[in-house]
Structure 1
């Protein structure tokens, strides 16, 4: 018997009132329930989100968090809420329109075929990507490869991915994971440590000229650096098990 596959789309939203309507319009044709998680936005964005939930009732749900807790906190809250609504998997996608929503069926098909795996986006950038973002991402990639003792995670920062909920929520129940810009990186490393397979789907990513970014250069880079340090020492404790897993995988 094939496992039950009931995906929901979770979109963390914080002050993206200009972009979220366009994002929702391009998600709805895929026929998957959409959960918008309002991460403590101001009145203008909150009103837009309420309007979307009313206009698309039955297809779009809204979860409001009273205080801004960060992207990771919003995604985690969305995962837990989606699970109570019967979701088996959550497709996470950003609110700002940088991800290609036309790829949603590809991600979901890969997830349906490999239901125990994380389906992780690997960005294909155009000329709109800031050079500083590329340099910073490459530095993080190197740290992730060190901290997993593998090249299994091609990109740890992409916010377009599908999570198997049972395994992900079990991990979140037993381990602390960063709740802001460090979330995407830390959760996928810890899922890899837990033995969850990672499958990669290339996807086009653009940076809209009028896009709103909540990445704060010094604060978030400091948080991510501290996270890499925690993960490094976590890897040292797990190194024998990780190396044994790789050896077994390479055996005929």
Structure 2
């Protein structure tokens, strides 16, 4: 297993350096994917890319987190990685949990390793409770409770099983990405291992969630996944009974 970290970045010039340093301390190579950040953040990324073990891909125009991660996964495979750890650039994920994720991937190398958050008091209550609507829809659309949290952006993808799915299926490009790719990988037959991880929301954190736009995208995603589940339901039920 050759594991590296993919970090989608959009205007997180402040915290991203600490995230990179923490990942490098765990011995992981890092691939930064700049989703057309403003010049100050772009300069930070350029400097980070000069460090050993750090690479940079840059998108010419902002296209959303999903496009940045998909770009990073494809590039990771070209770099010879077998697995890619996705983690956000804003510092909300606890990099001390990286060894637990890596151990889970080593134990089940064909599985998607999904983080499920353990929140502290910094989590906005509206965000916390709003996640449950997505959890319920994911459990409906997979006919399973296998994915404990589909919205956490801290996970490991086995690239051999992931790249064929993203090559042949549409996957949301923005805040709908994390949930949709998790469901579609589950549909493809990929196993899921859930790992608890501590999550905090920094007081000076920058959120790119746009309430109206992203809620519309997420609603559309759940709709297309629901109709996708309907014709897959016999296969999903058979797989569940066989297991």
Provide TM-score, normalisation by structure 1: 0.95
Q: Matches of 1:7 and 1:205 in 2, distance apart?
A: 22
Q: Which residue of 1 aligns with 2:102?
A: 108
Aligned-CA RMSD value:
0.6
Q: Which residue of 2 aligns with 1:198?
A: 192
Q: What is the DSSP-based 3-state SS (H/G/I as helix, E as strand, rest coil) of the residue aligned with 2:49?
A: helix
Tell me if 1:120 matches 2:114: yes
- 2:4 aligns with one of 3, 8, 11: 8
Q: Which residue of 2 aligns with 1:77?
A: 71
> Could you tell me how far 1:113 is from its partner in structure 2?
1.2
Q: Matches of 2:126 and 2:89 in 1, distance apart?
A: 22
Q: Matches of 1:168 and 1:86 in 2, distance apart?
A: 15
Q: What is the DSSP-based 3-state SS (H/G/I as helix, E as strand, rest coil) of the residue aligned with 1:242?
A: helix
Spell out, residue by residue over 1:81-108, the C-alpha distance to the aligned partner (whole angstroms, 9 max, x if none). Answer: 1110100000000000000001111101
Q: Matches of 2:222 and 2:96 in 1, distance apart?
A: 33
Provide TM-score, normalisation by structure 2: 0.99
**4+ residue runs over 3 A deviation:** none
Q: How many residues align?
A: 243
Q: Matches of 1:66 and 1:112 in 2, distance apart?
A: 35
Q: What is the DSSP-based 3-state SS (H/G/I as helix, E as strand, rest coil) of the residue aligned with 1:239?
A: helix
> Could you tell me how far 1:22 is from its partner in structure 2?
1.4
Q: Matches of 1:167 and 1:182 in 2, distance apart?
A: 20
Q: Please, which moves more after superposition, 19-28 or 216-225?
A: 19-28
Q: Matches of 2:128 and 2:175 in 1, distance apart?
A: 16
After superposition, residues 1-252 of structure 1 pair within 5 angstroms as 5-54=1-50, 56=51, 58-249=52-243
Q: Which runs of 5+ in 2 are unaligned?
A: none
Q: Matches of 1:150 and 1:172 in 2, distance apart?
A: 22
> Could you tell me how far 1:224 is from its partner in structure 2?
0.1
Q: Which runs of 5+ in 1 are unaligned?
A: none
Spell out, residue by residue over 1:186-221, the C-alpha distance to the aligned partner (whole angstroms, 9 max, x if none). Answer: 000000011100000000000000000000011101
Q: Matches of 2:44 and 2:26 in 1, distance apart?
A: 22
Q: Matches of 1:136 and 1:68 in 2, distance apart?
A: 26
